């Protein structure tokens, strides 16, 4: 009997052990099932993302969206497709974050202050909205500018008229709809080799940093025409020059260029190659493409990398070398200059200068971010800039002093004149200048110029 009882107890123990093992395997399979369906006991972290229009949305994991979207000589005397959001999988973004990639999460929440004294909230998860500092538009547009009645520093075939001369000649005026017009004389014949009347204006105020936005409806173009919207600091080139919108003839692509003292160069590591995290071109860091890096203040941060989409034409910004071509970057958008820009109704150009560097964006009409259209711009939510000169190799505080805005149109000169024959323009540039009928399209139509800070 004892032997039978002992055998029975052993058998019961074996059955109980087997039952426990089966229940354990079922529990593991259940957990795996819950994991596949996102039913974790502890919720995944929620990160805040911001669309190109400025609207915020929440996503499980770090889900991000990405927008699919010859340097010029200086003009200063030697003594300027709609963003499409695509989402990556949660697993892909979590993998990027785990590997120190381009996720949105920033683990350093220390407050910081910019050069202009305003608080930078990028590390605390908020998005900075810029406020209007100066606004030039409508009937008062010209009140904030001086007309520069000077010889053209680029040796162009123009006479820049003073304020009374420009208004009197009908080369500067504001239309009834509030659009500002500045044009080249298109009704007077001049002797071959002579100069044609034009306009060059410079802002009375100067700006050490911030966001400068041009809303342009149409711009000058044509053989021998050289228009530019740019900024310049004192004691050129030591105070720096930023060419925001510039090219010659009727070339379709805008050229953005810096002219500086020696030491400023383009950091190519920020040039966009493949996909980039959507947020943000300016998280108050000097970003590298991968891993841990240090911000301008020297503290380590792990925000997303900055990148730009343009093509580098020249790396050295030093105005004293390479015939002062500067460090140019070409916009890949074929509608960013000249008649092509005018045909799409113009657009908005924005240049941002802060501790992280200098960046330039272009948005064709109909593709302007909602926050920018509402005059409450949040550059941190915009797609990649067309051009970016990082402070890692060109710190703005060193190379750019307070900038004044300049808008001008010259003819021929150092750039348009030297390239006139090579682009298929007829005759000579001097012959071109003599006939007013060649300049019917040489005019600016500007809706506004706004400076934010």
Does residue 204 sit in helix, strand or coil? coil
Sign of CA dihedral 207, 213, 215, 219: positive
* Nearest partner of 210 among 107, 129, 277, 288, judged by Cα: 129
Active-site residues, by number, are 241, 246
Burial of 56 (0-12, 13-18, 19+ CB in 10 A): exposed
* DSSP H or E segment with residue 328: strand 327-330
* Nearest partner of 439 among 180, 203, 202, 156, judged by Cα: 156
Give backbone dihedrals phi and psi of 413, rounded to 5 degrees, phi first.
75, -165
Give backbone dihedrals phi and psi of 159, rounded to 5 degrees, phi first.
-110, 115
Burial of 23 (0-12, 13-18, 19+ CB in 10 A): exposed
Rounded CA-CA distance 250/245 in Å is: 13
The CA–CA distances, whole Å, from 100 to 12, 40, 60, 140, 290 equal 54, 24, 18, 51, 7
* Nearest partner of 280 among 385, 392, 130, judged by Cα: 385
CB 381 within 8 A of CB 85: no
Q: Number of H helices and number of E strands within the chain?
A: 7, 24
Burial 186-214 (b: 16+ CB within 10 A, else e): beeebeeeebbbbbbbbbeebbebbbbbb
* Nearest partner of 389 among 260, 273, 229, judged by Cα: 260
Provide the β-strand partners of residue 376. none
Rounded CA-CA distance 410/420 in Å is: 14
Give backbone dihedrals phi and psi of 324, rounded to 5 degrees, phi first.
60, 40
Angle (nearest 5°) at CA 310 between 208 and 295: 50
């Amino acid at each position: 009997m004892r032997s039978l009882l002992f055998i029975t107890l052993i058998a019961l123990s074996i059955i109980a052990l087997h039952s426990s093992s089966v229940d354990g395997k079922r529990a593991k399979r259940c957990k795996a099932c819950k994991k596949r369906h996102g039913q974790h006991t502890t919720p995944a972290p929620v990160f805040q993302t911001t669309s190109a229009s400025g609207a915020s949305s929440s996503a499980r994991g770090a889900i991000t969206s990405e927008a699919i979207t010859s340097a010029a000589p200086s003009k200063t005397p030697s003594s300027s497709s709609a963003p499409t959001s695509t989402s990556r999988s949660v697993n892909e973004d979590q993998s990027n974050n785990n590997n120190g990639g381009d996720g949105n999460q920033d683990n350093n929440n220390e407050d910081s202050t910019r050069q202009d004294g305003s608080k930078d909230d990028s590390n605390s998860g908020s998005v900075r909205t810029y406020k209007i500092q100066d606004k030039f538009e409508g009937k008062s547009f010209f009140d904030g500018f001086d007309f520069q009645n000077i010889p053209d520093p680029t040796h162009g075939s123009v006479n820049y008229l003073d304020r009374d001369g420009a208004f009197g000649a009908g080369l500067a005026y504001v239309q009834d709809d509030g659009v500002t017009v500045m044009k080249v004389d298109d009704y007077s014949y001049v002797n071959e080799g002579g100069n044609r009347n034009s306009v060059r204006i410079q802002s009375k105020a100067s700006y050490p940093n911030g966001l400068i936005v041009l809303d342009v409806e149409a711009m000058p173009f044509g053989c021998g025409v050289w228009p530019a919207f740019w900024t310049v600091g004192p004691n050129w080139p030591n105070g720096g020059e930023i060419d925001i919108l510039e090219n010659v003839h009727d070339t379709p692509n805008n050229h953005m260029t810096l002219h500086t003292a020696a030491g400023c160069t383009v950091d190519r590591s920020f040039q966009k190659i493949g996909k980039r995290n959507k947020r943000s071109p300016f998280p108050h860091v000097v970003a590298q493409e991968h891993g841990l890096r240090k911000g301008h203040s020297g503290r380590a941060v792990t925000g997303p990398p900055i990148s730009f989409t343009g093509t580098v034409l020249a790396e050295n910004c030093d105005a004293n070398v390479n015939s002062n071509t500067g460090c140019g970057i070409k916009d890949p958008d074929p509608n960013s200059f000249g008649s092509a820009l005018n045909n799409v109704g113009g657009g908005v150009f924005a240049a941002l200068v802060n501790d992280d560097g200098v960046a330039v964006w272009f948005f064709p009409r109909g593709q302007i971010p909602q926050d920018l259209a509402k005059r409450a711009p949040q550059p941190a939510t915009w797609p990649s800039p067309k051009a970016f000169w990082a402070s890692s190799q060109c710190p703005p505080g060193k190379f750019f002093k307070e900038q004044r805005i300049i808008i001008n149109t010259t003819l021929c000169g150092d750039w348009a004149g030297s390239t006139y024959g090579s682009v298929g323009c007829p005759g000579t540039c001097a012959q071109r200048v003599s006939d007013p009928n060649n300049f019917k399209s040489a005019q600016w139509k500007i809706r506004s110029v706004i400076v934010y800070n």
